[in-house]
Amino acid sequence: MNLPGGSRRDAEDAGRFFAQSGRTWTSQMVQMYQFFLEGHGMSVAAKKKTAVVVGTGAGGAMMAKELQGRYQVTILEKGGEFRPFSLSVERMAKLRPSGLFFDERMIRMLIPNMLVEKTRDMIMVRGIGLGGTTTLATGNAVRYDGALRQIGIDLDEQFDELYQELPITTDHQKHWTKTTRKMFRLFERMGLDPVVTPKLMDADQCIGCGHCAIGCRHDAKWDTRQLVDEAVSFGAELMTGTEVTDLEITGRQVSAVHARTVRGKRVFHPDLVVLAAGGLGTPVILERSGIVCRKTLFADPVLCVAGPLEGLRQDRQLLMPFISQQDGYILAPYMDYLSFFFNKDWRLPMRDMASIMIKLADEEKAASAGKGFTSR
């Protein structure tokens, strides 16, 4: 390239070089390329539109990955980096008789990214931090959209795309313990028609530690932090510790996003806003912004029942390795850490307990109140 004469081809070559090199453009590079374009009668490319994505859970992370490139994306996450539970469960269990664990909201002492909110009737659990609740979920990939199909919503195309993009597998069966296999056969004999649970995971990395719902330390379970990493590698900006308080509405459009950080308040003026702060977080932001939400929130109620069975070691098996879908509920083996630490009736050692999850169907009769709590 020659300065300042050059040719139109020089300008195009310069642009391609920097675009394909993967290098970050410095202000000098931008000025040089702009000089080439203007010097040869070529218009400077329009500034890329911007987008703000609120939340890094299942919805926000996927949208950030899909939008980055078409938009310059800024991802806002209320929490920080996810930290899996790394203490010894057996040692912590020795503190239960002391009365130290008297309120479920104290679970954050053990698992900082697990936020528990209580109402008169329910204990609501969600993840706060990178990956949202996907870091604390069991990684199930069960398709359960029959009710939607009945009202004319066909999601076949969307599910096909997910199956191609995400690591969904049932290969975890090779890591099942004798206990898991025995429970599966018992379900069969009882006519409960158990099926192996499709999991979002790399089965080869699983060691059967039973920590699926308190943070996988072995990178076996997939969560949406991987999507966030992809979006950032494509050029998105990630801001953790940034709590969106409300949206500024002008006419029928969002004109600004207001947020709080440790350094003070921030205001963003993007071209596009994706609000994906979770089922409990999103309605609160909308209400603060003057957008009234219908009281049709439904949750994911879970009841765990447990009994003594010496030496079972259910704490050393994959959570929800298989499921039994019934009319209005699902059954699955599941060791519930929240009940183990805070339910006074769960006082046996975890190795000597058998626990079954009953996942109940809910009705759309709840609302999210101003502080994030739900009411019925």
User: What's the full length of the chain, in residues?
Assistant: 376
For 50-80+224-288, give the CATH class.
alpha beta
pLDDT of residue 296: 77
pLDDT of residue 286: 95
At 272-286, the pLDDT tens digits run 999 999 988 999 999
Q: For residues 175-199, give the mean pLDDT.
A: 95
pLDDT of residue 29: 53
At 311-329, the pLDDT tens digits run 999 888 999 999 999 988 9
Question: pLDDT category, 32, cuts 50, 70, 90?
Answer: low
What ranges do the domains of the chain cover? 8-39, 50-80+224-288, 89-128+132-223+297-375
pLDDT of residue 344: 87
pLDDT of residue 20: 46
Q: Is residue 48 scored above 90 in pLDDT?
A: no
CA gap 94, 76 in Å, rounded: 39
Q: Is residue 16 scored above 90 in pLDDT?
A: no
Average pLDDT score, the chain: 85
pLDDT of residue 35: 58
Provide CB contacts within 8 A for 6, sequence distance 6+. 36, 39, 40
Q: Is residue 245 scored above 60 in pLDDT?
A: yes
At 108-131, the pLDDT tens digits run 888 889 988 888 778 888 999 999
Provide CB contacts within 8 A for 217, sequence distance 6+. 84, 86, 209, 211
Question: pLDDT category, 183, cuts 50, 70, 90?
Answer: very high
DSSP conformation class of 168: E
| Sheet with 253-261: strands ordered across | 243-250, 253-261, 264-268
State which amino acid sits at residue 162: L
C-alpha closest to that of 228 among 219, 218, 237, 241: 237
Q: How far is CA 305 from CA 114, 118, 275, in A?
A: 21, 20, 36
Q: For residues 199-209, give the mean pLDDT.
A: 93
What percent of the chain has a predicted confidence (pLDDT) above 70? 84
Q: For residues 231-252, give the mean pLDDT.
A: 95
Q: For residues 337-355, give the mean pLDDT.
A: 91
State which amino acid sits at residue 331: L
Instruction: Tell me the range of 7-21, 40-54, 68-82, 355-369 where mean pLDDT is highest.
Output: 68-82
Give helix 8-21 / helix 27-39 axis angle, nearest 10°: 150
pLDDT of residue 107: 87
Neighbours of 85 (CB within 10 A): 21
pLDDT of residue 59: 94
User: For the whole model, what pTM was predicted?
Assistant: 0.80
What percent of the chain has a predicted confidence (pLDDT) above 90? 56
Q: For residues 337-354, give the mean pLDDT.
A: 90
Question: pLDDT category, 96, cuts 50, 70, 90?
Answer: confident
pLDDT of residue 136: 94
Q: Are strands 199-200 and 168-169 parallel, antiparallel or unpaired?
A: antiparallel
Q: Scanning the structure block, which residue is given the tokens 């879970």?
A: 302
Question: pLDDT category, 52, cuts 50, 70, 90?
Answer: very high
At 142-164, the pLDDT tens digits run 888 888 888 899 999 999 998 99
pLDDT of residue 34: 55
